[in-house]
Amino acid sequence: MTQEINWELLKDAAVKAMQKAYAPYSHFPVGAAALVDDGRIVSGCNVENASYGVGLCAECGLVSNLSMTGGGKLVAFYCVDGAENILMPCGRCRQLLFEHSQVGMLLQTVSGIKTIEQVLPDAFGPRDLAEGFGADERN
């Protein structure tokens, strides 16, 4: 990867997203931001729901933002809590990020910068599916 990563800019975008979080139940706002391979920054915040299981993680909002603003592959990722501390995405969100990442996407983690492959080893995703594998072939 040759693209320069401005981690402070990503953190600032994650903090701004976190400030928009809707977390009336947990009181645990989360914001996430990522650099896209075309240079854009996308972000998202958590949105809770009274039916706890249907709340949305910040990473969900980020991936929706990615799709809505032109797609592409994620290059670098940063996530923060309400105190602006680095957060590690949960397993579900790691899978979601993997689906939309370029190979070797970097994540700022509590133990330093790691690749998506390091935080989700042996992941299964679109890179594993054979081209042309469609609904008709699943039956």
pLDDT digits (tens, 9 = 90+) for 40-71: 999 999 999 999 999 999 999 999 999 999 99
Please tell me the distance from the alpha carbon of residue 47 to that of residue 67, in angstroms, as a whole number: 18
Picking from 105, 126, 103, 123, the residue whose alpha carbon sits closest to that of residue 114 is 105
Q: Which residues contact 1 (CB under 8 A, 6 or more apart)?
A: 75, 102, 104, 106
| Residue 139 confidence (pLDDT) | 37
Report DSSP letters for 36-62, one per residue. ETTS-EEEEE-B--SSGGG-B-HHHHH
Which residues does the chain have with pLDDT short of 70? 1-2, 130-139
131 is catalytic: no
The amino acid present at 123, given as its one-letter code, is: A
Catalytic residue among 4, 8, 48, 59: 59
| Residue 135 confidence (pLDDT) | 47
Please tell me the distance from the alpha carbon of residue 127 to that of residue 139, in angstroms, as a whole number: 21
Q: Which two tokens stand for residue 117?
A: 């492959």
| Residue 2 confidence (pLDDT) | 54
The domains located in the chain, with CATH, are 7-138 (3.40.140.10)
| Residue 126 confidence (pLDDT) | 83
Q: Which residues contact 56 (CB under 8 A, 6 or more apart)?
A: 46, 47, 48, 49
CB atoms within 10 A of CB 91: 10
